[in-house]
Amino acid sequence: MKAIEVIDDLKRRFPNEPEYIQAVEEVLTTIEDVYNDNPEFERYNLIERLCIPDRIFAFRVSWVDDKGKVNNNMGYRVQHNNAIGPYKGGIRFHSSVNLSILKFLAFEQTFKNSLTTLAMGGAKGGSDFSPRGKSDMEVMRFCQAFIQELWRQIGPDTDVPAGDIGVGGREVGYMFGQYKKMAREFTGTFTGKGLEFGGSKIRPEATGYGNVYFLLEMLKTRGIDIKGKTVAISGSGNVATYTADKLLTLGAKVVSMSDSDGTIHVPEGLTREQLDYIFKLKNIYRGRIREFAEEYGCAYYEGERPWQRVKCDIAMPSATQNEIDGDDARALIEGGCMAVSEGANMPSTPDAIREFQKARLLYAPGKAANAGGVSVSGLEMAQNSQKLSWTEEEVDSKLKQIMCDIHEQCVKYGTETDGYINYVKGANVAGFMKVARAMMAQGIL
């Protein structure tokens, strides 16, 4: 089947999965040239096999809350593709989770993991359970019930989950504990573990730091210095806070952060003390970003995202998918934004991406810019296999190198005739070719 026929066919077969179709369409429209150059791909119906997940597990998760009420959530694991390594990808706990979102994330993960140069296939999982407002004990009971069902399908050489939205160190710890008990093994089946039980140094920081390292490479292509630049960040979770952390270290000004309720605006830039406050607010007190505005008396835009409100040189969306639409993109460009580097997965709609590229902005899609997280997860797996623990400096320098390599691949496959680097095309082509060649070599499975 031709790429365009695959898109039409998937639209017909999965009409209620818009995020999945959006992600597939974005990739397939950028790899057409290399696909047409390799007629054997069509003979082996490779594209369709690459777009449809290898398998999907769906299950009920029943758990008892603190009041004794029995709750039922849905749990899922999408094992998308393991042509180049064991399935690998995070677990998301959020009320919005459904199969369309997990299928898009697992599809994206396959290309991202391929780009990292490490041996990891693509997967994603999660539940419509939201840890927000739940006690520690409720979260623990939910994680245990989730793994009681999932543990048979994962393992250190089979499928290695990690965190994502709503799943941080606490949740990974509970899930790893339950897995260890059910499987009767102590292996690197999860990444993002605590340092005391096999976690890697720099894993919590990796996605945010990696995104900044990627941004620096992009800025270098135009001779721009990060120092003094204003950066708008969305989100205030793992990715957002460590992005801000690295930016502050490099002398940039972080002028916004947000959560699902609203956005704070600090035109003079967050101080280190203020960022520490946000970190504690989100990770220890599990509060809302509005409380930051109350504490420091800054502007707070209830129910709004940063993009229409906050003028910036650089935007680093780090909350969720489709959080920048065409209007947001136009507002950013009009406000003087010159670069967008995505910490979140697919935060820009197709309309927004078109605007960024039309205006010749430096624009890095999540699958390239946020690959630092899964890269250090891959390094965590390597350390677990060797029963070794590398130093912070070692892991950080490997992370930097991987982000530089990813940037180089994007330049190699994405540079257009006028010199503009189309990072979307570059990342998709580089990620696709490796998986495609491995699938061809392994036969029709």
Residues in touch with ligand NDP (CB under 6 A):
94, 96, 163-166, 168, 207, 235-240, 259-261, 318-320, 343-345, 370, 373
Are 243 and 211 in contact, with CB atoms under 8 Å apart? yes
- Full DSSP string of 90-131: EEEE-TT--HHHHHHHHHHHHHHHHHTTSS--EEEEEES---
Residue appearing with tokens 């009420």: 69
Rounded-to-integer distance, Cα 425 and Cα 268, Å: 36
**Residue 246 Cβ vs ligand NDP, minimum distance, rounded to whole Å:** 14
- Closest CB to ligand NDP among 114 and 345? 345
- Full DSSP string of 65-85: -TTS-EEEEEEEEEEEE-SSS
What the block records as the tokens of 128 is 């419509």
- Name residue 56's beta-bridge partners: 78
- Name residue 258's beta-bridge partners: 263
**Residue 350 Cβ vs ligand NDP, minimum distance, rounded to whole Å:** 17
- Closest CB to ligand NDP among 173 and 373? 373
- Closest CB to ligand NDP among 256 and 370? 370
Are 161 and 171 in contact, with CB atoms under 8 Å apart? no
Active-site option among 124, 201, 246, 253: 124
**Residue 376 Cβ vs ligand NDP, minimum distance, rounded to whole Å:** 9
Rounded-to-integer distance, Cα 381 and Cα 248, Å: 30
**Residue 4 Cβ vs ligand NDP, minimum distance, rounded to whole Å:** 28
- Closest CB to ligand NDP among 338 and 371? 371
**Residue 237 Cβ vs ligand NDP, minimum distance, rounded to whole Å:** 2
Rounded-to-integer distance, Cα 368 and Cα 432, Å: 13
Chain residue at closest Cβ approach to ligand NDP: 237
Angle at 427 between CA 360 and CA 46, to 5 degrees: 130
What the block records as the tokens of 131 is 């840890």
**Residue 418 Cβ vs ligand NDP, minimum distance, rounded to whole Å:** 31
181 catalytically annotated: no
Dihedral, CA atoms, 268, 270, 274, 276, nearest 10 degrees?
-170
What the block records as the tokens of 127 is 């539940």
Dihedral, CA atoms, 390, 396, 83, 180, nearest 10 degrees?
50
**Residue 307 Cβ vs ligand NDP, minimum distance, rounded to whole Å:** 12
Short-list 180, 181, 182, 192, CA closest to 89: 192
- Closest CB to ligand NDP among 46 and 240? 240
Is beta strand 55-64 parallel, antiparallel or unpaired with respect to 70-81? Answer: antiparallel
Q: Which residues are catalytic?
A: 124
